[in-house]
Structure 1
Amino acid sequence: MAIIEQRLTAMGLELPDSLKVREGLRMPFAWVRVRGTRAYISGHVACNRDGTLAKPLGKVGAEVSPEEGYASARLVALAHLASLKRAVGNLDRVTAWLRIFAMVNVAPGFNETPLVTNGYSDLILELYGPDAGAHARSSIGMAIPLNAPVACEAEVEIDE
């Protein structure tokens, strides 16, 4: 078993299936686009192990607490890892996490998006360590598709 997957197992975490969306909702894009030594990971939302949309849904600072938002961001990271594994075969191929763009579904007045997005960053740093796991990041508030609390996209470097 690969090192990153061993770490996930030791943490009691499992990678989810691909996101299952309602019938009729088209997703005409690649979840991961590999180009040379870069993998561009499309925006993902939190999903359960079976690929269904994870709850709670709603705006952070209203229906969703910052702590629940943090947990949702962590699930987004797992969804990214799952898509990345399907695309490149082995999560150990990731040599560097370069950039995370996090979008938080915020209630009016909620401006602490970094507290939410830390759920994503903390998991990546724990799995990959400070060298490969360190990344640039933006964390902004906006309306999110499917009323998910958090959506993220990412860019990673992979070995050839």
Structure 2
Amino acid sequence: MSNYEQKLVSLGLVLPQPLKLPSHMTLPFPWVNVRGDRAFISGHGPQNPDGSPSGPFGVVGDTVTIEEAHASARKVGLAMLGSLKRELGSLDRITGWCRVLGMVNCAPHFSNPPAVINGFTELINEVFGHDVGRHARSAIGVAGLPLNFPVEIEAEVMISG
């Protein structure tokens, strides 16, 4: 077990299985696209440990609270780490988190997407520490997301061979 995987266990965290998509959905792209010393991670939503999409579903600032959305962003981090582990074989290959784009499905009056995406950033920093985990980040509000997720996040990491 890698050092980062041991860290997840020590925190009581479980990486979810691959996303179980609804039967009508197909995705013509990989979850993780490795190019040289970089891995580009497609947008992920929150997942349950069995790989099913995780609620609450809906709009932050309307049907979803900021606290619920913050917890969903943390689940997105776990989903992303699961995809990275499956693609890379070990999370120890991650040498640095470069950038993160967080999208929040939010009501027109909601003006605090960064507080939601903090759930993701806090998880990454807990697992990887400041030196490897720190990243540039944007957090934006959008009018809708796939599967009515409250949060979707994409990222880029540096990796070793």
> TM-score, normalising length from structure 1?
0.99
Count of matched residue positions in the alignment of Structure 1 and Structure 2: 160
**Which residue number corresponds to residue 156 of structure 1?**
157
**Which residue number corresponds to residue 65 of structure 1?**
65
Cα distance in structure 1, aligned partners of 2:59 and 2:18:
23
**SS of alignment partner, residue 56 of structure 1:** coil
* Structure 2 unaligned spans of 5+: none
**Which residue number corresponds to residue 119 of structure 2?**
119
Q: Point out 4+ residue stretches in structure 1 off by more than 4 angstroms.
A: none
**Which residue number corresponds to residue 10 of structure 2?**
10
**SS of alignment partner, residue 77 of structure 1:** helix
- Identify the range of structure 1 (22-31 vs 114-123) with the bigger mean alpha-carbon deviation: 22-31
Cα distance in structure 1, aligned partners of 2:42 and 2:3:
24
**CA offset digits 1:71-109 (Å, max 9, x no partner):** 000000000000000000000110000000000000120
Letter in 2 for 1:58: G
**SS of alignment partner, residue 128 of structure 2:** helix
1:129 partnered with 2:136:
no
Cα distance in structure 1, aligned partners of 2:43 and 2:61:
22
Letter in 2 for 1:154: A
1:21 partnered with 2:18:
no
**SS of alignment partner, residue 62 of structure 2:** coil
Cα distance in structure 1, aligned partners of 2:121 and 2:38:
19
Cα distance in structure 2, aligned partners of 1:74 and 1:25:
24
Letter in 1 for 2:158: E
Cα distance in structure 2, aligned partners of 1:57 and 1:136:
27
Cα distance in structure 2, aligned partners of 1:114 and 1:98:
17
Letter in 2 for 1:126: E
**SS of alignment partner, residue 155 of structure 2:** strand
**SS of alignment partner, residue 18 of structure 2:** coil
**SS of alignment partner, residue 4 of structure 1:** helix
Cα distance in structure 2, aligned partners of 1:67 and 1:27:
30
- Give runs of aligned pairs for residues 61-100 of structure 1, distance below 5 A: 61-100=61-100
> TM-score, normalising length from structure 2?
0.98
- Identify the range of structure 1 (68-77 vs 17-26) with the bigger mean alpha-carbon deviation: 17-26
Residue 21 of structure 1 and its aligned partner are, at CA, apart by 1.2
Cα distance in structure 2, aligned partners of 1:73 and 1:24:
25
Residue 111 of structure 1 and its aligned partner are, at CA, apart by 0.8
